[in-house]
């Protein structure tokens, strides 16, 4: 039976709120890293998380910012582009996961959206042993900058063919990455994948990528 649990993640200087979906005999754990003013309540990420949980993955959606920081960011829009801050928070969550008795055996994948994708790539460089795969949805992976050449986790970038600016940036990132990688362009999709069927395609592609890279690692650690 699928378990849904609130999580309170204690880091060195802040407490973050999260929601965990834990299916029985999970084959991996996918951590969602939102960006650009979103939160763990994003309906798009929740939809993808539900799909992944149905495929046997545990999923963790959490807020990178506190409620106070979110209120500030709605006005200034500055924290959503603070990649070092977002990366530091994500590294803290990865460290927290590594000592959770029920979760530490699970191989971890990161699902990053918008600026959260840059934080996912940067955190994977800081904790290479903790991250086995990365998926970016409409991600500003270019903002990871100097970290790109040091990413070792297999990385899938998914972008809509109508999202021309991000598509161009993702293609440049492909040339900078030296890890196993793939770029998938979803036909008829804009930046937020709001068109009929496009988010479902994102979920399918992400599920296939995580299935290929997390399941064996989880079994090996069991």
Q: What angle do CA 100, 122, 101 make, to 5 degrees?
A: 5
In 3D space, the residue among 48, 217, 202 whose CA is nearest the CA of residue 132 turns out to be 217
Strand arrangement of the beta sheet that strand 29-33 belongs to: 3-10, 15-22, 58-62, 29-33, 108-113, 133-137, 155-160, 181-186
Which CATH entry fits the domain spanning 3-221: 3.40.190.10, 3.40.50.1820, 3.30.1490.190, 3.30.460.10? 3.40.50.1820
- CB-based contacts of 86, cutoff 8 Å, min separation 6: 33, 35, 64, 80, 115, 116, 118, 119
Report pLDDT for 219.
64
Whole-angstrom Cα distance, residue 220 to residue 222? Answer: 6
Report pLDDT for 218.
64
Whole-angstrom Cα distance, residue 148 to residue 168? Answer: 16
In 3D space, the residue among 123, 44, 134 whose CA is nearest the CA of residue 83 turns out to be 123
The conformational region for residue 188 under phi > 0 = left, psi -120 to 50 = alpha, else beta, is: left
Quick one: angle between helices 83-97 and 115-126, nearest 10?
A: 50
- pLDDT tens track, the chain, 222 positions: 778 899 999 998 899 989 999 999 999 999 999 876 667 878 888 999 999 999 999 999 998 888 888 888 888 878 788 899 999 999 999 999 999 999 999 999 999 999 999 999 999 999 999 999 999 999 999 999 989 999 999 999 999 999 999 999 999 999 999 999 999 999 999 999 999 999 999 999 999 999 999 977 666 665
Instruction: Tell me the domain boundaries of the chain.
Output: 3-221
C-alpha dist (Å) from residue 2 to 56, 59, 190: 9, 11, 32
């Amino acid at each position: 039976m699928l378990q849904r649990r609130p999580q309170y993640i204690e880091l060195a200087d802040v407490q973050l709120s999260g929601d965990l979906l834990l299916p029985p005999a999970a084959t991996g754990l996918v951590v969602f890293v939102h960006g650009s003013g979103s939160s763990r309540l994003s309906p798009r990420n929740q939809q993808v998380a539900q799909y992944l949980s149905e495929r046997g993955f545990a999923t963790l959606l959490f807020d990178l910012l506190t409620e106070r920081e979110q209120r500030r960011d709605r006005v200034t829009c500055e924290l959503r582009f603070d990649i070092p801050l977002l990366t530091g928070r994500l590294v803290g969550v990865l460290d927290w996961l590594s000592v959770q008795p029920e979760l530490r055996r699970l191989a971890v994948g990161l699902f990053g959206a918008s600026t959260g994708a840059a934080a996912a790539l940067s955190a994977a460089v800081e904790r290479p042993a903790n991250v086995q795969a990365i998926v970016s949805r409409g991600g500003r992976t270019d903002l990871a900058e100097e970290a790109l050449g040091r990413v070792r986790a297999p990385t899938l970038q998914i972008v809509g063919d109508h999202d021309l600016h991000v598509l161009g940036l993702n293609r440049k990132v492909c040339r900078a990455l030296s890890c196993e990688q793939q770029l998938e362009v979803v036909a008829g999709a804009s930046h937020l994948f709001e068109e009929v069927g496009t988010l479902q395609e994102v979920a399918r592609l992400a599920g296939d990528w995580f299935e290929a890279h997390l399941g064996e690692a989880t079994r090996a650690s069991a």
